[in-house]
């Protein structure tokens, strides 16, 4: 089978690989991406930080839609691509894993020490006092505040929310921080228009700069948040390999590009490695 797995296995065998993953890695878990094959069918405008913090109606709309979609996100399970990445890490081939995803599926699939560049939907923070709580705790509070809320979820958007009728949104009640008694709650994710914490970015750059190879998985590299690491690797002469369905904005900098479903090609890649370097993480 000529799906690129042979070439990937050859270049990964040397180890010291840093993985940079995007939404395309999670589409096989039922979570659509923004720009790939699953995202192209959707007309979805993501929430911006400025709108969330400045518009109470928009904030209520976000939490109503996110609350409806949370259970579908929480039920998502890691796919064979996530498991393959964990296998590569447990085999000692990876120097680090950086993900642009907020779904926590790398960790659920067995990966360790994952840097979540854009945060995680599994955590909630207060913008006033900084208190952090779990999304499960917020879900319980929102269910108590909205006992009659029962939106039918048919499809989840890339950032975990769903489309809802206006009457459902208008009747939805939000909650505030219990620690400080009224602070604004926000999912612990980086919204569009918000800056990724500088220390997190620095940690990612440090990983890339020490890598022998940067492996991009399931990212179109459309936004600079992820593409900057490809640009840094290319500037330093560090090889770049990209596995994605469709072209990316990093293809011109890549030494190898593979256009294929990620779960299948990554699993076959892990299977092709020597037994000592393909330990299962399951």
Helical residues (DSSP H) of the chain, grouped into ranges: 5-12, 49-54, 56-75, 80-90, 105-108, 135-145, 166-170, 198-210, 224-235, 262-272
Residue 4 near residue 12 (C-beta atoms within 8 A): no
What SS3 state is found at 173? Answer: coil
- 107 labeled binding residue: no
Encode 88-127: b = buried (16+ Cβ within 10 Å), e = exposed: bbbbebbbbbbbbbbbbbbbebbbeebbbbbbbbbbbbbe
- 262 labeled binding residue: yes
- 101 labeled binding residue: yes
Angle, CA of 109, 25 and 19, to the nearest 5° = 75
Task: Exactly one of 67, 82, 118, 122 is catalytic; name it.
Answer: 118
What SS3 state is found at 221? Answer: coil
- 126 labeled binding residue: yes
- Give CA–CA dist 109/81, Å, rounded: 9
- Give CA–CA dist 112/231, Å, rounded: 25
Q: Does 122 qualify as catalytic in the annotation? A: no
Longest dimension (CA), the chain: 60
- 134 labeled binding residue: no
SS3 of 11-63: the string is HHCCCCEEEEECHHHCHHHCCCCCCCCCHHHCCCCCCEHHHHHHCHHHHHHHH
Other beta carbons within 10 Å of 263: 19
- Give CA–CA dist 66/221, Å, rounded: 25
- 244 labeled binding residue: yes
- 26 labeled binding residue: no
- 204 labeled binding residue: no
Known binding-site positions for Zn(2+): 126, 129, 177, 180
Known binding-site positions: 100-103, 126, 129, 177, 180, 218-220, 244-246, 262
Known binding-site positions for NAD(+): 100-103, 218-220, 244-246, 262
Question: Which positions are annotated as active-site residues?
Answer: 118
């Amino acid at each position: 089978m000529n799906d690129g797995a042979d070439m990937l296995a050859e270049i990964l065998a040397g180890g010291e690989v840093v993985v940079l993953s995007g939404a395309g890695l999670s589409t096989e878990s039922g979570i659509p991406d923004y720009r790939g094959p699953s995202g192209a069918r959707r007309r979805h405008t993501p929430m911006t930080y400025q709108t969330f913090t400045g518009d109470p109606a928009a904030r209520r709309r976000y939490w109503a839609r996110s609350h409806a979609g949370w259970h579908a996100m929480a039920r998502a399970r890691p796919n064979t691509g996530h498991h393959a990445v964990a296998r590569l890490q447990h085999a000692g081939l990876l120097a680090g894993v950086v993900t642009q995803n907020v779904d926590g599926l790398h960790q659920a699939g067995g990966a360790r020490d994952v840097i979540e560049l854009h945060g995680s939907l599994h955590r909630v923070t207060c913008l006033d006092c900084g208190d952090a709580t779990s999304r499960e705790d917020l879900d319980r509070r929102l269910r108590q505040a909205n006992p009659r809320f029962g939106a039918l979820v048919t499809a989840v958007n890339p950032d975990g929310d769903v489309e809802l009728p206006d009457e459902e949104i208008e009747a939805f009640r939000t909650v505030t921080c219990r620690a400080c008694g009224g602070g604004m709650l926000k999912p612990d994710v980086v919204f569009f228009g918000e800056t990724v914490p500088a220390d997190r970015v620095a940690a990612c750059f440090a990983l890339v700069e020490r890598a022998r190879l940067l492996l991009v998985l399931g990212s179109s590299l459309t936004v600079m948040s992820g593409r900057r690491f490809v640009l840094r690797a290319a500037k330093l002469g560090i090889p770049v390999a990209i596995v994605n369905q469709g072209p990316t904005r990093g293809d011109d900098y890549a030494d190898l590009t593979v256009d294929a479903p990620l779960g299948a090609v990554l699993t076959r890649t892990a299977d092709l490695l020597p037994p000592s370097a393909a330990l299962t993480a399951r």
